[in-house]
């Protein structure tokens, strides 16, 4: 039997990120949307378990794997997204992450502009991503449509920004750009730095 995915608790209260992200959004986002990805991924695993027991006779493996990729990616991205933020966040990173940003983007402001542009211009629903690429030893800004499309497979996401409408619409309506610009005020750079250190190792 496959291991099951588990919905993680938020690392803070639902209202901790106000006024940048409202309590209502955080509650719906975590308890409904993230939970749905966990349930969807587990349902796909269960279908694969049952299919293998039956010798995969009559099983649409392609469809199940598509569902697994979508839901498991949604779960993994949200599991990074929550601790990537904190009350009283913002500012700039320090230590080795700051050095790497300066090396790969020129300076922090250039990185911030590029990442923000990536998040604002994702077509449809998706994510803005800062990822470490071990193959080239550099940081890359990426976009992910849905959760899994257009990603670079070898990279390790260390900072992610959810730009699905459920992440901001109740508060910012169709103004994704303002949501992205305000989000920098709650970035938890300590978490991002820790993820970068682990990715480098």
Q: pTM of the prediction? A: 0.95
Fold of the domain built from segment(s) 95-200 = minor pseudopilin epsh fold (3.55.40)
Give the pLDDT score at 22.
Answer: 98
State the DSSP string of the chain.
-PPPP-PPPPSS-TTTTTTTS-HHHHHHIIIIIIHHHHHHHHHHHHHHHHHHHTTTTT--HHHHHHHHHHHHHHHHHHHHHTTTB-TT--S---HHHHHHHHHHHSSHHHHHHHHHHHHHT-SSSEEEEEEEETTTTEEEEEEEETTTBT--TT-EEEEEEE-SGGGTHHHHTT-HHHHHHHHGGGB-HHHHHHHHHHHH-
Q: What is the pLDDT of residue 1?
A: 66
In the chain, what are the domain boundaries? 23-81, 95-200
- Residue 2 has a pLDDT of 72
DSSP string, 25-62: HHHHIIIIIIHHHHHHHHHHHHHHHHHHHTTTTT--HH
**CATH topology agreement for domains 23-81 and 95-200:** no
**What does R_g of the chain's alpha carbons equal in angstroms?**
18
**Exposure string over 138-161, b if 16+ CB within 10 A, otherwise e:** ebbbbbbebbbeebeeebebbbbb
What pLDDT was estimated at residue 147?
87
The fourth-level CATH superfamily of domain 23-81 is Fe,Mn superoxide dismutase (SOD) domain (1.10.287.990)
Write the pLDDT tens digit of every residue in 94-113: 889 999 999 999 999 999 99
The pLDDT assigned to 52 comes to 85
pLDDT below 50 — which residues of the chain?
none
């Amino acid at each position: 039997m496959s291991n099951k995915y588990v919905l993680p608790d938020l690392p803070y209260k639902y209202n901790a990120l106000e006024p940048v992200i409202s309590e209502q959004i955080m509650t719906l986002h975590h308890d409904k949307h993230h939970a749905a990805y966990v349930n969807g991924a587990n349902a796909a695993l269960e279908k694969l378990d049952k299919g293998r027991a039956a010798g995969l006779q009559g099983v649409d493996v392609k469809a199940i794997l598509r569902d697994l990729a979508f839901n498991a990616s949604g779960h993994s991205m949200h599991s990074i997204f929550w601790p990537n933020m904190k009350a009283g966040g913002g500012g700039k990173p320090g230590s080795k992450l700051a050095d790497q940003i300066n090396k790969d983007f020129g300076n922090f402001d250039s990185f911030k502009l590029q990442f923000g542009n990536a998040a604002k211009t994702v077509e449809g629903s998706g994510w803005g991503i800062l990822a470490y690429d071990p193959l080239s030893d550099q940081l890359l800004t990426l976009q992910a449509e849905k959760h899994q499309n257009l990603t670079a497979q070898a990279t390790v996401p260390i900072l992610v920004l959810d730009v699905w409408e459920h992440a901001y619409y109740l508060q910012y309506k169709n103004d994704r750009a303002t949501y992205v610009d305000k989000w920098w005020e709650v970035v938890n750079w300590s978490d991002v730095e820790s993820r970068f250190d682990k990715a480098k190792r």
